[in-house]
Amino acid sequence: MTAAPRRIGSAATLAVAAFVALPILSVTWTALSAGLGPQWAHLWATVLPDYISGTLLLSLWVALGVAVIGVATAWLVTMCRFPGSGVLRWALVLPLALPAYVVAFLYTDMLEYAGPVQGALRDVFEWRTRRDYWFLEIRSLGGAAFVMTLAFYPYVFLLARSAFLEQSHDAWEVSRTLCDTPLSAFRRVALPLAWPSVMVGIALAVMEAVSDYGVVSFFAVPTLTNGLFNVWLVMGDRAFGAQIALLLLVFVVALVTVERRARARRTYFALSTRSRSAAPVVLRGWRAWAALAACALPVLLGFVLPVWQLAGLAAGYDAEPGAGFAATVARSLPLAAAAAALTVAVGLGLAYAARLGLSPLARAAARVASFGYAVPGAVLAIGVLIPFGAFDRAVGALLLSGTVFALLSTYLVRFLTLSHGTLEAGLQRIRPSLDMAARTLGRGAVATLGRVHVPLLRGALLTAGLLVFVDVLKELPATLVLRPFDFETLATSVYTLASDERYGEAAAPALILTVAGLIPAVILSGLLGRRAGAAEAA
């Protein structure tokens, strides 16, 4: 529009992009400048192959698991009607509320030797010791894949369901007349059309799996993230830690590439015309029960059972929660609120700067600013530690590292995409003529933002703030690395207590995280529900 706000917007965008790029660049620099020392060969011969194969195998199993569960359940609740399909349509999103590390410790508690399941089996079959029988070991790579599949399949479910909703009635009916069975119509038309969306969902789930620290650490699964913690924190080898972090980054860049390509194809496949969605098939008899079982099982295993267990633990824990717990809550909530406010403010600034018009360089930088969400929390944390630590050493005082400032910076970089994306979508729904009207009526760019955009964006600002707030509450790996001494958040206290097998004590903070986690689950399924309603009304 006019020169001055545009220059300021471009400069601010460049600054934010530089801030996001700083941790990534410092990891890369540290990793490459260290070179391959003698210990590299040693570690390569011992642990590194395990880390890499662990990450690859975990990714593979999670990808398969979330694809099968997510696509099958999305198809059934969207295209078929059976008893309970209306409830399952939103209930299938619920597992999103539980952090994977909470599910992991609850299943450990349930399935371990002293837990209720093995105890009941021993009573029934009169086994005496561990050697009398074989029982599946949840603390394994398979167990981690199981837990993560339950925690992350809703990504695929949500994206696949919205893709199925967008498919036109006509395409489906044509395919039914040309294919011999509904199953072959699904395989040859509906699934290929939805595939780009499914790929986006799988990529997001695998990104989560690769970045996870809580689950793999409980289950002692060797992955790159687990290895990064061992090497960096336990062995104290910064250079090799940075090199593992770089490997993780390479892995993530591959995933982001898959995701962005799939997103581009998704727009290409998206329907330009509004059309009625397909009439649902009413299932009867054994088919209806099979569909109900298939869709209810992920909800039971991923939400009902863990929450039941969690509620039982919390109720059974009779000791006083203690001052520690109160202090944790009193620290965690304001920290998450501050991070949410900061992230929403910067996200709004970025989105508005893009609306005012950016210089070509700043336009490229804006793409960098949205990369943070893909970077694993642990990698980001050491990427922040390296430059902050260097600064503190230069100054001779602990100003940046090990402070709340370091935590807030990391949350900002990690969750900026979430707020920026939400607000950008919100701004796009505001007609540009409103901006120009305000400008010709004597309001500058900043006053226009305050008097026109912010009031109109109230819903989007609230959504963005809540999404970031809950994600910060649940964030574990970066918080573990960067938190100030003796500083517990809800997430770290769940992790520390559960690591010490103090499950009863861990239940209260885990319950708070779960209740908070319901907020984004409700927001996401509500957004989709509104679109489904619109498609059915059309």
Partner 1 sequence: MSASLDFVGVTHGYGGQAVLDGLSLHVPEGRVTCLLGPSGCGKTTLLRIAAGLERPWSGRVLLGGREVDGAATHVPPERRNVGFLFQDFALFPHLDVLDNVAFGIRSGTRADRRVRARELLGRLGIGEKAAVHPHLLSGGQQQRVALARALAPDPAVLLLDEPFSGLDTVLRRGVYEELRALLGQTGVTAVVVTHDPVEAMILGHRVVLMNQGRIEQQGTPEDLYQRPSSPFVMRFLGEANSLPAHRDGSEAVTPLGRYAAPAGDGPLQALVRPERVAVSPSGGRAARVVSSVFLGRAVRLHLDLDGTRLTAEVPADRPYAEGESVSVRVEAADMRLFPAGSERD
Q: Which residues bind partner 1 (CB under 8 A)?
A: 1-4, 431, 433-434, 436-444, 447, 451-452, 455-456
Which residue, 436 or 527, is less far from partner 1 as judged by CB?
436
Of 272 and 440, CB closest to partner 1? 440
C-alpha to C-alpha distances, 364 to 27, 258, 277, 422, nearest whole angstrom: 22, 20, 38, 20
Other CB atoms within a 10 A radius of the CB of residue 369 amount to 24
Q: Which is nearer to partner 1, 6 or 122 (CB)?
A: 6
Task: Please identify, using beta-carbon distances, which residue of 174 and 447 lies nearer to partner 1.
Answer: 447
Minimum distance from CB of 515 to partner 1 (Å)?
A: 32
Report the residue number, 285 or 455, with the smaller CB distance to partner 1: 455
Q: Provide, rounded to whole angstroms, the least separation between the CB of residue 533 and partner 1.
A: 20
Residue 509 near residue 408, CB atoms below 8 Å: no
Smallest distance from the beta carbon of 442 to partner 1, in angstroms? 5
* Residue closer to partner 1, measured from CB, 271 or 434: 434
The CB density around residue 432, as the number of other CB atoms within 10 Å, is 11
Q: By the 8 A CB rule, do 228 and 378 touch?
A: yes
236-242 long-range contacts, CB within 8 A, separation 24+: 237/39, 238/30, 238/386, 239/30, 239/31, 239/34, 239/37, 240/34, 240/37, 240/39, 240/40, 240/43, 241/382, 242/27, 242/30, 242/31, 242/34, 242/382, 242/386
What gap in Å lies between CA 112 and CA 89, rounded to an integer? Answer: 33
Nearest to 230 by CA among 493, 387, 48: 48
Phi and psi for 283 in degrees, rounded to 5?
-90, 145
Query: Which CB atom, from 187 or from 451, has the smaller least distance to partner 1?
Result: 451
Phi, psi angles (nearest 5°) of residue 282: -90, 120
Distance separating alpha carbons of residues 469 and 340, to the nearest angstrom = 5
Placement of tokens 């990064």 in the chain: 228
- For partner 1, the closer of residues 25 and 456 by Cβ is 456
Residue 190 or 461: the one with the smaller Cβ distance to partner 1 is 461
Smallest distance from partner 1 to CB 455, Å: 5
CB of residue 6 vs partner 1: minimum separation in angstroms? 10
DSSP string of 45-87, one letter each residue: HHTHHHHHHHHHHHHHHHHHHHHHHHHHHHHHHHHEE-TTHHH
Give least dist CB 439 to partner 1, A.
4
d(CA 110, CA 275): 48
- Smaller CB separation from partner 1, 116 or 444: 444
- Given a contact cutoff of 8 angstroms between Cβ atoms, the answer to whether 475 and 377 are in contact is yes
- Spatial CA neighbour of 498 closest among 104, 156, 116, 72: 104
Residue 150: helix, strand or coil by DSSP?
Answer: helix
| CB of 452 vs partner 1, minimal distance in Å | 6
Smallest distance from the beta carbon of 454 to partner 1, in angstroms? 10
Compute the least distance from the CB of residue 2 to partner 1, in Å.
4
Task: Quote the least distance from Cβ 347 to partner 1, whole Å.
Answer: 21
